[in-house]
Amino acid sequence: MIKNNAWFLLLLLSLMACKQRETIDPVAETFELNVPAYFGPYNDRIPEDNPITEEGFQLGRKLFYEPRLSKDNTMTCSFCHQQEKAFTDRRAVSIGVDGLPGKVSAMSLVNLMWSDNFTWNGKDPSIEEQALEPIQNPIELHQSLEAAIEKLEQANYQDDFEAAFGDPEITSEKIGKALAQFERALISANSKYDQYLRGEYQPTASERRGIELFYTHPIPGQLRGGNCGDCHLGPRTSGALEGFRGFHNNGIDSEETMDAGLYEVTGNPADSGKFKAPSLRNIAITPPYMHDGRFKSLEEVLDHYNTGIKRSPTLDILLKEGSNEIVNPNEPVDLGLTDQEKEDIIAFLHMLTDEDFVSNPRFSNPFTNAE
């Protein structure tokens, strides 16, 4: 009898504990990410305190397209990051809620899982922090987080926050986390280049030459290369992850005319003119190019690297030494590509366009598109 009572007591305590966990923890459905093995490990790229769940992703998606996050309820995150444009707006500099121009071009939101130090000058160390900045920025959505929270409360978002985080309270931290979950899930991995890496597509002769040129560091007289992959690394074609190693001065300005770039964040004069090397995924459909959108086409970009690099004290060593010609330190750095080689590199860059990514209904506006 005593043994039976003890067993019953243990069963009762176990049921109570389960019930308590159901009450405290969100009912979070696991979110499946379509990540190819050649992208590298990603579990350590997701913060332990903000795993991606189906509920968190869906809340972040709603917030991404929610005009209540702007001062006058007319603008959303998606205004500057439009899915059909690979989450850019194709403007040289973006326009905010008051019609005022910003200082930089809207970066493509793609494969952010493998990125650190966000925005062109790296001022935001995490997606969670970066996601909140446009809401408060006076040139962008121009609204306090307190006002945004009040609007979301009035719109009855409490159930969405409870589903995602196990608590109906709406906080700025949770807003940042939900947006980050959505943005981390924006993975582009089904371009022709991905299909080639999986053995599903055979590149044209020009595309194949472009791949080789893109990833080859040139050695004058020995090895011809485009010197692109030195900054846009690996299959993801994005910058290095460690610290600020993914930031470069790519010679678009002289010392007298260059923007501060990373120097604005670090205060180190050696970082003047350095900007984040973005992923080149979907680059063919995201003009204009560079942090200020100065180049309207990929042809202009290649022309810059071929004959337009300007020397300065902080010009990246990879450019100083990366040429198909013998480089004279007292003369401009010319990459020395032929017209055919430039065409081949551009052919490869077009291989990075992912039509599935820009049309995936999972990433679309939930208020106007039914899945």
Binding-site residues from annotation? 77, 80-81, 228, 231-232
Close Cβ partners of 129 (under 8 Å, ≥ 6 residues apart): 118, 176
Residue 241's H or E segment, with its range, is none
Question: Phi-psi bin for 66: left (phi > 0), alpha (psi -120 to 50), beta?
Answer: beta
- Collapsed DSSP state (helix, strand, coil) of residue 247: strand
**For the purposes of burial, counting CB atoms within 10 Å of the CB of 74, is it exposed (0-12), middle (13-18) or buried (19 or more)?**
exposed
Q: How far apart are CA 254 and CA 124, in angstroms?
A: 26
Phi, psi of 265 (to 5 degrees): -95, -45
Instruction: Return the amino acid letter for 330.
Output: N
Which residues belong to the annotated binding site for heme c?
A: 77, 80-81, 228, 231-232
Alpha helices in 77-220 (DSSP H): 77-80, 127-136, 145-154, 158-165, 172-184, 192-197, 205-214
Largest CA distance in the chain: 96
- Collapsed DSSP state (helix, strand, coil) of residue 307: helix
Question: Phi-psi bin for 156: left (phi > 0), alpha (psi -120 to 50), beta?
Answer: left
DSSP tag of 29: P
